Chain A
Amino acid sequence: EDKVVQSPLSLVVHEGDTVTLNCSYEVTNFRSLLWYKQEKKAPTFLFMLTSSGIEKKSGRLSSILDKKELSSILNITATQTGDSAIYLCAVEATNAGKSTFGDGTTLTVKP
């Protein structure tokens, strides 16, 4: 059975700090790993990673995949209060259709 584990479960930082969120997975026939940010509404897409070692970047957020270690990290630099959210990691298997999600990391950024 496919499995995704995220750590830490929750994190409290102050504005300006840098955070690293972790995601490890076990999946048969890996296709992609996705990061989502979930605030009060629906999860919104952040990154899709398919190749190992290639960093994807969007503003202060960046993510990288390590297929050897079966893991990914999501970095957020110079955090702001608006970064407070649950960050979800999901993996997709080839031809499986469905995504398997982790339980998320709840990030709280204090002013």
Chain B
Amino acid sequence: EVQLVESGGGLVQPGGSLRLSCAASGFTFSTYAMHWVRQAPGERLEYVSAITSSGSSTCYADSVKGRFTISRDNSKNTLYLQMGSLRAEDTAVYYCASLNRPFYIYWGQGTLVTVSS
């Protein structure tokens, strides 16, 4: 059974940092590109960042570019999102996701990040 389990969310002050992790199991993690997607309360999904299977290429939404860093450790089957200079508008549930063709589309349950003083 495929599982993606996010952790590391919580309450952080504006300007602070947080590191999210996503532990993957049940599939060959090292062969799949991975994504972080977020959803603010009551809002729609928003793409945050993506990384290729080897980690050699990464992409970011303009809203987080320069503040967030995606990475992965294929030996640990784990995806990371290092978030810095956090703002109130970064408050959201953060999902780790495999969005791979043709139908390897898996989502974690999400971890809530709240940026507030």
Asked if A pairs with B, the answer is no
